[in-house]
Chains A and B, each alone.
Chain A
Amino acid sequence: MTETFYEVLRRQGITRRSFLKFCSLTATSLGLGSAAAPRIAHAMETKPRTPVLWLHGLECTCCSESFIRSAHPLTKDVVLSMLSLDYDDTLMAAAGHQAEAILDEVKKKYKGQYIVAVEGNPPLNEDGMFCIQGGRPFVEKLKETCADAKAIISWGACASYGCVQAAKPNPTRATPVHKVITGKPIINVPGCPPIAEVMTGVVTYMLTFDRIPELDRQGRPKMFYGQRIHDKCYRRGHFDAGQFAEAWDDEGSRKGYCLYKMGCKGPTTYNACSSMRWNGGVSWPVQSGHGCIGCSEDGFWDKGSFYDRVTDIKAFGVESNADTIGKAAAGTVGAAIAAHAAVTALARARQKAGESEKVSENQGEK
Chain B
Amino acid sequence: MLSQQDMLEAERHGKQVRSIYVYEAPVRLWHWINALAMVVLAVTGYFIGLPLPTMPGEASDNFLMGYIRFAHFAAAYIFAIGLLGRIYWAFVGNHHAKQIFKLPITNRQWWSEVFFELRWYLFLEKTPKKYVGHNPMAQLMMFFFFTVLAVGMVFTGFALYSEGAGLGTWSDTLFGWVIPALGGSLQVHNLHRLGMWIMMTFAVIHIYAAIREDIMSRQSLISTMISGWRMFKD
Contact = CB atoms under 8 A, between A and B. Distances in A.
Given A240-B63, A241-B65, A268 B185 contact: yes
B191 A337 contact: no
A20 interface: no
Given A344-B212, A347-B123, A333 B201 contact: yes
Interface in A325-342: 325-327, 329-330, 333-334, 337, 340-341
Interface in B179-205: 179-180, 183-187, 189-191, 193-194, 196-198, 200-201, 204-205
Contact of A323 (B50, B61, B163, B177): B50
B194 A326 contact: yes
Interface in B100-131: 121, 123
Given A241-B59, A252-B54, A298 B183 contact: yes
Contacts of B60: 237, 241
Contacts, number: 138
A313 B179 CA distance: 15
A268 B184 contact: yes
B44 to A, nearest CB: 12
Interface in B22-56: 49-55
A321 interface: yes
Interface stretch (A9-17, A60-68, A214-222): A214-222
A117 B39 CA distance: 51
Across the A-B interface, the 9 shortest Cβ-Cβ residue pairs? A326-B197, A242-B64, A241-B62, A268-B185, A322-B193, A322-B194, A268-B186, A241-B59, A240-B66
A257 interface: yes
Nearest to B197: A326
A314 to B, nearest CB: 10
A243 B50 contact: no
A244 B177 CA distance: 31
A217 B177 contact: yes
A266 B52 CA distance: 19
A261 interface: yes
A329 B197 contact: yes
Contact of A326 (B180, B187, B201): B201
A330 B216 CA distance: 24
Given A241-B66, A322-B49, A326-B196, 18 more contacts: A241-B63, A242-B52, A257-B54, A268-B189, A303-B184, A309-B49, A309-B50, A310-B50, A310-B190, A311-B190, A313-B190, A322-B191, A323-B50, A323-B197, A330-B201, A333-B201, A343-B123, A344-B212
Would you call the interface of chain B mostly helix, strand, loop, or mixed?
A: helix
Contact of A333 (B185, B191, B196, B204): B204
Interface in A119-164: none
B59 A337 contact: no
A246 B183 CA distance: 28
Interface of B: 49-55, 59-66, 68, 121, 123, 163-164, 166-167, 176-177, 179-180, 183-187, 189-191, 193-194, 196-198, 200-201, 204-205, 208, 212, 215-216
Nearest to A336: B205
Interface string A261-276: 1000101111000000
Nearest to B176: A217
A217 B230 CA distance: 51
25 contacts: A217-B179, A231-B164, A241-B61, A241-B66, A242-B54, A242-B63, A242-B64, A242-B68, A245-B54, A260-B51, A297-B185, A297-B186, A303-B187, A310-B190, A322-B191, A322-B194, A322-B196, A323-B49, A326-B194, A326-B196, A327-B197, A329-B201, A341-B208, A344-B123, A347-B123
A269 B185 contact: yes
Contacts of B65: 239-242
Contacts of B183: 298-299
A257 B53 CA distance: 12
Contact of A297 (B59, B184, B200): B184
